A and B are shown apart, each in its own frame.
Chain A
Amino acid sequence: MDETVLIRRTIVVTAGTCGRASGALEIRDALRAEIDRLGAGDRVGLLVTGCHGFCEMEPSVVVQPEGIFYGKLKPADAAAIVKQTALAGKVVEKLACKIPTTGRVVARLEQIPFFKKQMRVLLENNLRVDPEKIEDYIRIGGYRALTKGLFDMTSEGVIEEVRRAGLRGRGGAGFPTAVKWGLCRKAAGHPKYIICNADEGDPGAYMDRSLLEGNPHAVIEGMILGAYAMGANEGFIYVRGEYPLAVENVGRAIEQARSCGLLGPAILGSEFHFDLQLIQGAGAFVSGEETALMASIEGRKAFPRQRPPYPAESGLWGKPTNINNVETWANVPLILDRGSAWYASIGTEKSKGTKIFSLVGRVKNTGLVEVPMGVTLREIIEDIGGGVPEGRTLKAVQTGGPSGGCLPAASVDLALDYETLAKAGSIMGSGGMIVLDDRTCMVDLARYYLHFLEEESCGKCAPCRVGTRLMSELLGRMTAGTADEADLARLESLAQTVKTASLCGLGQTAANPILSTLTHFRSEYEAHIREKRCPAGVCRELASSPDQPARPIGRKALKNKERGRS
C-alpha cells in the first residue's frame, strides 16, 4: 500500500507583478529552502499564484486552509511561517495584520478589514491556482462551464443565459453583453471574430492585469463560450505590451489549452472549432479604443475610425467582430457554471454582478477590490481602504481613468453602479479609483491628464491632436502662475469643442478631467489664476497660502540652473 502523504497546509505565495517587484520570489525561495531543511516537503505544500489584490502588503503569503495572511515579509520570516504556522497551525503574531485603532491581531483573510467587505467571485481563484498549470484551473472546476455550454446548450441558449444574468461590459461603457453578442451572431458575413481587449491603458487601473496574470484560463474559457455563442472560429487576445508577466502567462495558457483539446479543431470532441491568438500591444494608449485596436491587430497604426459601422457589422477585416474587455470575458464561465439566477442576485437592479476596482492613491490600504455593484464609495474608501492617511481629509475620488471624472468628497455615499456614476458626472470606466486628499491639486491633476492625453492622441483628427495640446498648455500656464482670466474662458471653450468634434472616445472624453474638476473645484482654478496660489501646495511655482510669498525659484528654473552646472 502506498504511504499516505498528508499535506495539511499549503503556503500560497502571491507572485503577480506587484509581488515580484516587492520580493515575492525571494520569499518563495526562502520558504522552499526552509521546507527542504526541515524535510517537511510531504507535509507542507507550496503554491505560487497570481495576485490577491492587497498589493500594498506584498510580498505576502496566505497559509491555507485557515487563510492566515502575512504581509510585508522578509526572507528571514520563512522559518517562523513554516515551523509555527504551516506545521503547527499557530499564528505568528508579529507577521499578522493588526487593526490600527485597537492593535488587535487579525490573522485570517476574512477578518482583515481590506478583505472582509469584498465579494471576491473573480479574484478568489487567483489564490487557488498556479497560473502556469492548466490542471490547477481544471481542478477548481475550470472548463466545466464550457462543457455545459457546448453539450447542454445551444448558442442562443448561451446568449440567453448571459442576458438573464444581466452582464454588462466591464470595459467602461456598460453595454449589455448579450445584446452585443446577439448583434454579432445575427450579422451577415463570414468568418466572424472575437477579441479580448486586454490593452488596459488607463493609468491607475490594473484589474485586468491581475486576472490575466493570475487566472488566464478564466478569460480563455469565457472567450470559447462567447465564440460558440456567436459562431466565431478565430479570436484574439490583445494584451498591453507593458504587462510582460500577463503576456507570458496568457501565451502559456493558450498553448496548454490547445494541447488539451480546449482550443483548435473539435473542442472536447464536439463539432465546434475555435482558436486564439495572443497579440502583444506595442505601447499606444489609443489602441484600447475598439476600432483602433482592430487596426492594430490588422497590422496597422492604431488609428481609430468613425462608428458606425460598429464592429458587430464590420470589424476585423470588414467582418462581424465582437470585442469585450478582460473582466467581462472572465465573468462568462461564472455565469454559465453557477447560473444566471445566482449572478443576477448580486448587485443592483440594472448593474449585476461584482466589479473589481483598483483602489489607489491617497488611501491607507491600496490594491484591487472586488465588490458587488451598488456598494457606496464610502464603504470602499473607509471600510476596505481604511480611509485617507492620518491627519488628511478626503478631497475627491477620480474614477474611470482619463475619460472619467472626479467625484467630490460629498458624494461618498453614492452607490457604485453604471447609472449613478454617470449621473454624478463620472463613469464606471474600467474600474480605476484614485483617492485624492487635501494634498492633491485639482488643477495639477487636470494638467497631468491632459499632458497624458496630448502625448497619447494618435493625431488622426485635428480637434483632439491640436485641442489636447492647447488645453495642456493652458493648464501648464495655470500651474506655473502665468495664466489670466481669459485663459480660463479659453480652456472652457476649447474643452467643449474637443468634446464635440473629436473622432473617437479618446478625444470626446479628453476634456472630462477639466470639466469635472471645474464643476466641483472651480475655486482652485481661480486661486491659481487670480492669487497665483496653489491651495494644496503642489504647484511649486506658486505660493500655498495667501500669507506666504511665492517661492523665488521655481521648479523649472531650478532644474535649468542645475543642468547648467553639470
Chain B
Amino acid sequence: MEQDWKDELDDLLKESGSRSRDTIPVLHKVQERFGHVPPEALPTIARRLHVSESELYGVLSFYKAFSLRPKDAHTISVCLGTACHVRGGEQIIQELENALGISAGKSTADGLFTLETVNCLGCCAIGPVMVVDGVTQARITPQAARELLARIRAGEKKS
C-alpha cells in the first residue's frame, strides 16, 4: 500500500517540471491526486524541484489551496464575498456552524464534514452561494443549508 502511494507520487513528479518555478503547479497536482499534500511526500517533492524542504513548506503553508491534512468526506465552502455578505452569507455560515457544532475551518468529529469559507467565488449575482463537494449551489437560505446537510447525512447512512 505504502509503496503504491510512493510510486504514484514518483509517476506524477516524473511528468512535472523540476524547476523551483514549477512548485505551485506541482503542489496543485499532488493536492488534486491525494486530496492533500502528504507530509511524508515533502522531501521527495523538494528534491525534485531543487528547493529546500523548508522553502517548500513555506510555500505550501502560505496558500490556502494546499493542505497537509486529508480533507473529510464532504467539504462545504461558504462564500463570504461582499455580495454574498450583504445578502446574508454570514447567516449561512452561522447556520452550518450551529448545525455541525464546529466553527469554520474545522472538521466534524465523525470525519464527515469539513466546513470552510471562501472570499468570493465570483457568482455574486446568484448569492449567497456555497460549494458542496465541488458543486456550486446558488441562492442558499439557512433552511436550504440545513436540508442539504440532512440529505448528505441520509445518503451516508444508506451507503
User: Taking beta carbons and an 8 Å cutoff, which residues of A are in contact with B?
Assistant: 17-18, 20-22, 55-56, 58, 200-206, 209, 240-244, 279-285, 296-302, 358, 360-362, 366-368, 398, 401, 432, 434, 436, 440, 445, 448-449, 452, 455-456, 458, 555, 559, 562-563, 566
| B86: chain A residues within 8 A (beta carbon) | 361-362, 434, 436, 440, 445
Roughly how many angstroms separate A352 CA and B104 CA in the complex, as a whole number? 44
Shortest distance between the CB of B153 and any CB in chain A (Å): 15
Q: Are A360 and B119 in contact (CB under 8 A)?
A: no
| B82: chain A residues within 8 A (beta carbon) | 203-204, 360-361, 398, 401, 432, 434, 448-449
Roughly how many angstroms separate A241 CA and B87 CA in the complex, as a whole number? 24
Q: Assess A456 versus B126: contact at CB under 8 Å? Given A204-B83, A241-B65, A398-B82.
A: no
Shortest distance between the CB of B18 and any CB in chain A (Å): 11
| A297: chain B residues within 8 A (beta carbon) | 21
User: Taking beta carbons and an 8 Å cutoff, which residues of B are in contact with A?
Assistant: 19-25, 27-28, 49, 51, 55, 58-59, 62-66, 80-83, 85-87, 94, 97-98, 101, 118-127, 129, 134-138
Q: Are A18 and B120 in contact (CB under 8 A)?
A: no
Main secondary structure of the interface of A (DSSP, over half): mixed
Roughly how many angstroms separate A559 CA and B129 CA in the complex, as a whole number? 22
Q: Are A282 and B63 in contact (CB under 8 A)?
A: yes
Roughly how many angstroms separate A200 CA and B122 CA in the complex, as a whole number? 9
Q: Are B62 and A284 in contact (CB under 8 A)?
A: yes
Roughly how many angstroms separate A121 CA and B62 CA in the complex, as a whole number? 39
Q: Are A17 and B121 in contact (CB under 8 A)?
A: yes
Q: Are A204 and B120 in contact (CB under 8 A)?
A: yes
Q: Assess A282 versus B124: contact at CB under 8 Å? Given A17-B136, A301-B59.
A: no
Shortest distance between the CB of A112 and any CB in chain B (Å): 15
| A458: chain B residues within 8 A (beta carbon) | 62
Kindly identify which residue among B58, B62, B65, B123 contacts A21, using a CB–CB cutoff of 8 Å: B123
| A566: chain B residues within 8 A (beta carbon) | 98, 101
Q: Are A361 and B83 in contact (CB under 8 A)?
A: yes
Shortest distance between the CB of B118 and any CB in chain A (Å): 6
Considering the complex, give the chain B residue whose CB is closest to the CB of A17. Answer: B123
Roughly how many angstroms separate A555 CA and B93 CA in the complex, as a whole number? 13
| B127: chain A residues within 8 A (beta carbon) | 360
Considering the complex, give the chain B residue whose CB is closest to the CB of A456. Answer: B119
Roughly how many angstroms separate A78 CA and B46 CA in the complex, as a whole number? 53
* Leading 4 A-B pairs by shortest Cβ distance: A283-B64, A206-B122, A55-B125, A282-B63
Q: Are A559 and B97 in contact (CB under 8 A)?
A: yes
Q: Are B62 and A55 in contact (CB under 8 A)?
A: no
Q: Assess A55 versus B83: contact at CB under 8 Å? Given A301-B59, A456-B119, A559-B97.
A: no
Q: Are A242 and B122 in contact (CB under 8 A)?
A: yes
